[in-house]
């Protein structure tokens, strides 16, 4: 189990003042020796309407699906709190087929390393 990424509450922002349907998109979180991988289902969200923001220690994913009159926009939001093991400068994100991938590389001291044991 990991403590390097935990979910934090969504605080009321100006976007809540507008009429929009707030949706918590489903998220998968995976980890390997080098990185954390966050996957989120964001159908209809294009790169122009998507923000992936790291304001340490928060990782905020927000996508908007605009509607014709802006009265029934959909806003997808998830916020996670990162610990200091992530190399924030090297976070990468891409979206394809409506699925967002955020790669969060671990900073050097936190990577898993195998140490070869040599005999005498």
Binding site for other proteins (CB under 8 A): 1-3, 5-11, 22-32, 37, 39-46, 81, 95, 97-99
Name the residue nearer to other proteins (CB basis): 11 or 118: 11
Listing DSSP states for 33-102 in one string gives SSEEEEEEE-TT--GGGEEEEEETTEEEEEEEE--TTSSSEEEEEEEEEE-TTB-GGG-EEEEETTEEEE
Compute the least distance from the CB of residue 108 to other proteins, in Å.
Answer: 19
Compute the least distance from the CB of residue 120 to other proteins, in Å.
Answer: 34
Name the residue nearer to other proteins (CB basis): 3 or 120: 3
Compute the least distance from the CB of residue 15 to other proteins, in Å.
Answer: 13
15 neighbors 67 (Cβ within 8 angstroms) = no
């Amino acid at each position: 189990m990991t403590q390097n990424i935990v979910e934090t509450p969504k605080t009321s922002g100006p976007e809540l003042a507008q009429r929009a349907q707030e949706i918590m998109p489903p998220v998968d979180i995976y980890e390997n020796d080098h990185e954390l991988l966050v996957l989120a289902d964001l159908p209809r969200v294009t790169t122009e309407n998507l923000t992936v923001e790291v304001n340490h220690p928060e990782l905020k994913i927000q996508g908007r699906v605009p509607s014709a009159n802006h009265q029934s926009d959909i806003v997808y939001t998830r916020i996670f709190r990162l610990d200091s093991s992530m190399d924030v400068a090297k976070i990468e994100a891409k979206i394809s087929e409506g699925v967002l991938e955020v790669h969060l590389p671990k900073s050097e001291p936190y990577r898993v390393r195998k140490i070869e044991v040599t005999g005498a």
